Amino acid sequence: MNAEASTKRPGGRSTRVRTAVHSAAVALVAERGADQVTLPAVAQRAGVNSSSLYRRWGTVAALLADVAKHRGDVGAPPLVGDLRTDLENQAAWTLAELSLPGGIAFFRAEVAPDVDERHDGLRECLRRVSERFRPVLDTARERGDAPPPLERVLDRIVAPLYFRVVFSIPGTDEAYVRDLVAELLGKLQPEL
């Protein structure tokens, strides 16, 4: 066996291990809550040695932040070419992601005990959510529409969703999402 072949693992073992660990973490958070999950429990559920988790992630917070990062944009709704509909679809998808079992736990995991890690995690969270809405606004501009700035979308749509999910406020559903979008776009209309 040559040196190159011995350094690479065939068949994507690393990806399979990450997938198993991520699945185990999501299931355990849904069952127990993020504060009751340990790396040894995740390792046992995933069928891997816990030393692998300590070596790769180090902490449950780091593992859950990695899960959040790799959940990424799976299932993102396609753009339909209408600003209101595209904003509603992206906002509803964001709400659905946050509302999944363990969904908000992965957001909370990015608030690590270390201040620098916390800031990095929160910046990454903001980057990911911004990248969900940026194409909607860019596409609208390309069509000649005048969409709101990204910062306003984050303030008027995304922030209320996170707030309401974090604090489990009833009535946070797709109708609420549509109301947020309507209010934002209504304020963009010129006064007659």
Share of the chain above pLDDT 90, in %: 45
Q: Find the range with the poorest average confidence among 104-108, 122-126, 147-151.
A: 104-108
Mean per-residue pLDDT over the chain, rounded: 83
User: Quick check: 12 pLDDT over 70?
Assistant: no
pLDDT band at 7 (very low <50, low <70, confident <90, very high): very low
pTM to 2 decimal places: 0.71
Helices (H), 72-158: 83-99, 103-109, 115-142, 150-153
pLDDT band at 15 (very low <50, low <70, confident <90, very high): confident
Say which residue, 28 or 43, is predicted with more confidence. Answer: 43
Helices (H), 10-49: 13-32, 39-46
pLDDT band at 27 (very low <50, low <70, confident <90, very high): confident
Q: Find the range with the poorest average confidence among 26-30, 57-61, 121-125, 173-177.
A: 121-125
Amino acid making up residue 62: A
Nearest by Cα to 45 from 68, 22, 63: 22
User: Quick check: 68 pLDDT over 90?
Assistant: no
pLDDT score for 32: 82
pLDDT band at 123 (very low <50, low <70, confident <90, very high): confident
Average pLDDT over residues 78-97: 93
* Secondary structure element (H or E) that encloses residue 7, with its range: helix 3-7
User: Quick check: 151 pLDDT over 80?
Assistant: yes
